[in-house]
Structure 1
Amino acid sequence: MIRRAVGVLGELLVTAGVLTLLFVVWQLHWTDLTSERAQAAAVDALQERWDATPAPTASAAAPTAPTAPTAPAAPAVPDVDQSPPTGDAFAIVYVPRFGSDYAVPVVEGIGAEELEDGIGHYPGTAMPGGVGNFAIAGHRVTYGKPFNRVAELQEGDAVVVATAERWYTYRVRRHRIVSPTAVEITAPVPDRPGEQPTEAWLTMTACHPMYSARERYIVYAQLESSQDRAAGPPASLAAVG
């Protein structure tokens, strides 16, 4: 009787181990495959929609101060002045450091469902190009892992955000590792709650360390320049750094 019970227990443990392994494979690989396809389709859909509605020319677009080589440009008036409905894709992020084929949609919201669809935008934070803090979140593993290589970003690297009307080039300024409760990272002036913003920032957040949610990896980037979408992609997309 005892031998039979031990045998049954052993079979149950083996079955549980197989099921756990299958779950890990699904979580780490299958979700990547399905999410990458869905995110690529979302990028294509955004680009097709934008192409169907020609962007305004320089004379019609919001003016932007000239960019000085040693100082960030004055923030442009964003073409998106309010947050879209939760789950809607409204922008595309390009990071040359991550490869020439890196293009991920930005969707409104940072819930589990939104982060399966791409990079999530923190509700209530600035929109692309706007004064304040355009704060976004992405997975480092699973569901397309758009921020898998976030720790590889270097000071001066470009993070380019495309919207229906404009391209925005941000430059990486610094990194931080914080606790999940560090809400100051999404303040209008990053790390300075209550301070009035005068510049445009981008904050990228991801879980840290890899395969853990114990901390958050943070990258801050500052707006360098913007240009009409009609003018074509910015030069910042052509090279790393």
Structure 2
Amino acid sequence: MIESPTRRTNRASRRRPRPRVSVLGVLGELLLTAGVLVFLFLFWQLFWNDWVVRGEQNDRGSQISREWDDQASDAGHDDPIIPEQPDDGEVFAQLRVPRFGEDYVSQIAGGVSKAVTLDPIGLGHYPDTQMPGEDGNFAIAGHRNTHGAPLNKVAELQPGDAIVVETKDGWFTYRYRNTEYVQPSQVDVIAAVPGHPDEDPVDSVITLTSCNPFMSTAERIISYGVLESWTPRADGPPAALTDGVEG
């Protein structure tokens, strides 16, 4: 009796040894899967989550501005109205920087702790520094990545760029001057006269502090601006916000 080709093929197939599963192969697949999951987590944490939170903070900022508009009186104020020192986590102002985007706005609250201010709100005011409009240094801190990354584009500032601090009474317009990079221990950058803690201030400046390089805490990026003008809320937003970015 002659076997058919089909039967011979089936019998041969049954006799073939099954491929062995090696420990190294399984470990490699697990590591590959873990790598993909880590990459997806980092993408979500550093990019997608920031886009979502940044959008929420922009929307919240617009809502706060509308509330302040509704509360404002028709009377203008020629002299700047200096906000009172805030409590930790108390929102008292907002930062608007045309260079960071037309819709950009980030809330500023008292204190610079991550848990109370920087992570949930955005920007924090160093308690021992001056308030916006005062002679001295209005110093604030914020993240460059994660939690909405309010100072993500701080390294892109160009001389003369507007840095506008909005309060319920109006807007303080500062003009960006320069940036320096320092060690985390160099706290004199937030002195009343930055870098010169023993001198008395004669100018009103703003100091933006964040970590550097990007996604690192090895040093700090420090950006300065000098007060140019005060605009009462009754007069509407300053030209720095309505004219857009030059250059």
Q: TM-score range by the shorter chain?
A: 0.7 to 0.9
Q: Describe the superposition over 1:49-69 as per-residue Cα deviations: whole angstroms up to 9, x where unpaired.
A: 2123124622xx3x43xxxxx
The equivalent position to 1:145 in structure 2, one of 145, 149, 162, is 149
Tell me the SS of whatever aligns to 2:192. coil
Q: Is the 8 A contact 2:58 2:104 kept in 1?
A: no
Q: Is the 8 A contact 1:206 1:216 kept in 2?
A: yes
Which residue of structure 2 lines up, in the alignment, with residue 39 of structure 1? 57
Which residue of structure 2 lines up, in the alignment, with residue 68 of structure 1? none
Instruction: For structure 2, list consecutive stretches of 5 or more residues without a partner in the other structure.
Output: 1-20
The Cα shift of 1:161 comes to: 1.0
Tell me the SS of whatever aligns to 1:196. coil
The equivalent position to 1:115 in structure 2, one of 108, 114, 118, is 118
**Structure with bigger gyration radius:** 2
Could you tell me how far apart the structure 1 residues matched to 2:81 and 2:89 are?
24
The Cα shift of 1:201 comes to: 0.7
The Cα shift of 1:77 comes to: 4.5
Matched, 1:53 2:71: yes
**TM-score of the pair, normalised by structure 2:** 0.81
The Cα shift of 1:8 comes to: 4.1
Q: Is the 8 A contact 1:56 1:165 kept in 2?
A: no
The Cα shift of 1:21 comes to: 1.2
Q: Is the 8 A contact 2:58 2:103 kept in 1?
A: no
Could you tell me how far apart the structure 1 residues matched to 2:151 and 2:43 are?
20
- Partner amino acid, structure 2, of 1:134: F
The equivalent position to 1:204 in structure 2, one of 208, 217, 226, is 208
Matched, 1:82 2:85: yes
Q: CA RMSD in A?
A: 2.2
The Cα shift of 1:134 comes to: 0.9
Aligned positions of 1:176-215 closer than 5 A: 176-215=180-219
Could you tell me how far apart the structure 2 residues matched to 1:94 and 1:41 are?
13
Alignment length (residue pairs): 224
Aligned positions of 1:1-12 closer than 5 A: 4-12=22-30
Could you tell me how far apart the structure 1 residues matched to 2:153 and 2:56 are?
20
The Cα shift of 1:4 comes to: 4.1
Which residue of structure 2 lines up, in the alignment, with residue 133 of structure 1? 137
Q: Describe the superposition over 1:191-211 as per-residue Cα deviations: whole angstroms up to 9, x where unpaired.
A: 111322232110011221222
- Partner amino acid, structure 2, of 1:46: I
Which residue of structure 1 lines up, in the alignment, with residue 13 of structure 2? none
Q: Describe the superposition over 1:160-204 as per-residue Cα deviations: whole angstroms up to 9, x where unpaired.
A: 111000210101122101111110111111111132223211001
- Partner amino acid, structure 2, of 1:82: Q
| CA separation of 1:190 and 1:103: change in aligned 2, threshold 3 A | same
**TM-score of the pair, normalised by structure 1:** 0.83
**Percent identity of the aligned residues?**
46
